[in-house]
Structure 1
Amino acid sequence: MLDVAIAEAAARLATADDVDSLRELVDETVAASGAGDEERALQADLQFHRRLNTIVDNPVFYLLHDGLSHVLHQELTERRKRAAELEPTAPAKTRVIDTVHYGIVEAIAERDSEGARIAMRRHFEVWSSLTGSP
């Protein structure tokens, strides 16, 4: 729920440079995952979500994110590991768990708060459907 609210707010606040930075992080996630570098993909994915938080720059969101960062890191690590087992990559193949982030970036680029909220929800639905995690 926190990421949904952050994505919605980011759509109102992001600059063109912010959007470029988000897109680069998704590109990095996709490239790393496609190369089988799961640690690099994980770090880029985590940076993407941290970047969203930075764009919004809300002290309450920082407090929540910082307080949960250890648990979030562990959860994302486990989910990415499970996804890698269920959806191995091959040269020139991407994973939907990575490419789903592009929808978030595009909605933010269009300053579409509702679209960003929907795209972030889709992000979590994709994760849940693939990994069986809520």
Structure 2
Amino acid sequence: MGYRAGVRTVEQQLRALLDEGAADGTLGPGAKLPTERALAEMLSAPRSTIRRALDALESEGLIERHVGRGTFRTDVGHRPAGDAPPDTSPAEIMQVRLVIEPPVAALAARIATSADLARIRTELDAGGAAEDFESFEAADARLHRAIALAAHNGLLMTMFDVMNTARALPVWGSLKRRTSTPQRRACYHAEHTTIVEALHDRDPEGAQEAMRAHLQNVADNLLGRH
């Protein structure tokens, strides 16, 4: 039973890897996945467990393996999330984010892998090093998505990605740009740091509260609630 649970965990991690690759364009249809050895090192799992998890994904038609060539993503495996309605308002976006992201952070604090935490730390550092609005916003989006990926729940990621498409709406981008200042970006980075520290401390309540406080601050700044 324990071994089978291990396979299921690795399978979820591989699904998250495919989801992330679909979002950033690195693992679209036909893209080659890392080798079994590389995946084993990346996910800190035995190669036998990696192989069984890949068997499950192959049985669903999400990937295909060719002897001597490697493992490739199929067209079936590329399933983009739906789009948010074009008339979604910034207030609606923040309401949904406040409902979804704090408990997601709590879940990530419980089950994130060391690879997840390293990815989250990389995006946090990118946000801290960002010197302009566009760079910070890109790092911010990647950080929040990396935290969601660390919850290892495919259905939740589908919901998250639908919500996240609203960030590409013109009304959201223009409002964020108008309300962004270097001081606010520094404040958001400090709040992100508190969230990430709670994740590393395996503190679900702390991660949830830090995420809630951060998103409430973002909402207040965007919507002029002071």
Aligned mates of 1:101, 1:88 — CA distance in 2 = 15
Instruction: Output the aligned Cα RMSD.
Output: 2.3
When residues 47 and 8 of structure 1 are mapped into structure 2, their CA distance, relative to the original with a 3 A threshold, is: same
Is residue 117 from structure 1 mapped to residue 208 from structure 2 by the alignment? yes
**Normalised by the size of structure 1, how large is the TM-score?**
0.80
* Alpha-carbon offset, residue 67 of structure 1: 2.1
* Alpha-carbon offset, residue 11 of structure 1: 0.2
When residues 44 and 21 of structure 1 are mapped into structure 2, their CA distance, relative to the original with a 3 A threshold, is: same
When residues 83 and 128 of structure 1 are mapped into structure 2, their CA distance, relative to the original with a 3 A threshold, is: same
Which entry has the higher C-alpha Rg, 1 or 2?
2
For structure 1, the residue ranges without an aligned partner over 5 or more in a row are none
Aligned mates of 1:101, 1:123 — CA distance in 2 = 8
Residues 38-53 of structure 1 aligned to structure 2 (within 5 Å): 38-53=133-148
Note if contact 1:25-1:44 (Cα within 8 Å) is conserved in structure 2: yes
Task: Judging by fraction of residues, say which structure has more helix.
Answer: 1
Range that drifts further, 119-128 or 93-102: 93-102
When residues 123 and 117 of structure 1 are mapped into structure 2, their CA distance, relative to the original with a 3 A threshold, is: same
Q: Percent identity?
A: 27
For structure 2, the residue ranges without an aligned partner over 5 or more in a row are 1-98
Range that drifts further, 102-111 or 65-74: 65-74
When residues 105 and 60 of structure 1 are mapped into structure 2, their CA distance, relative to the original with a 3 A threshold, is: same
Which residue pairs with 1:130 in the alignment?
Answer: 221
Highest relative contact order (Cα 8 Å, sep 6+), 1 or 2? 1
Aligned residues: 126
Question: Which portions of structure 1, spanning 4 or more consecutive aligned residues, are displaced by more than 6 angstroms?
Answer: none
